[in-house]
Amino acid sequence: GAVVSQHPSRVICKSGTSVKIECRSLDFQATTMFWYRQFPKQSLMLMATSNEGSKATYEQGVEKDKFLINHASLTLSTLTVTSAHPEDSSFYICSARGTVHLRGGYTFGSGTRLTVV
């Protein structure tokens, strides 16, 4: 139980275009979803936290107009990287939390490798 599906796993896009990444909780209701980015050999850095039906809370230094987050339902959150540039190339990971996690831990998606060329 507590499976999170993230798509796509890899995406290559041209500079200036937008890319949407989906994060779905398959067998539980995700009251909170988190979006991270991870550069090679570095830690996961939290970008934003979203609760279903409300606006996402962004971490300091993360541009909310560039990284659009929508958490429209209890099972789906999307991250859209708008007007992507090569410096946005990274590994993006979502995680989700619901009542199934009362005993601890988060469930993470398998990540999306974004390459902007």
Q: Binding residues for another protein, per CB under 8 A?
A: 4, 6, 32, 34, 41-44, 46, 49, 91, 93-95, 97, 101, 103-111, 113
How near is the Cβ of 59 to another protein at its closest, in Å?
9
How near is the Cβ of 50 to another protein at its closest, in Å?
12
Measured from the CB atom, the residue of 53 and 105 that comes closer to another protein is: 105
Does residue 95 contact residue 33 with C-beta atoms inside 8 Å? yes
How near is the Cβ of 101 to another protein at its closest, in Å?
7
User: How far, in Å, CA of 91 to CA of 10, rounded?
Assistant: 9
Does residue 108 contact residue 93 with C-beta atoms inside 8 Å? yes
> What is the arrangement of strands in the sheet containing 19-25, beginning at the earlier edge strand?
4-7, 19-25, 76-81, 67-73
Q: Do the strands 44-51 and 76-81 form a parallel or antiparallel pair, or are they unpaired?
A: unpaired
How near is the Cβ of 16 to another protein at its closest, in Å?
26
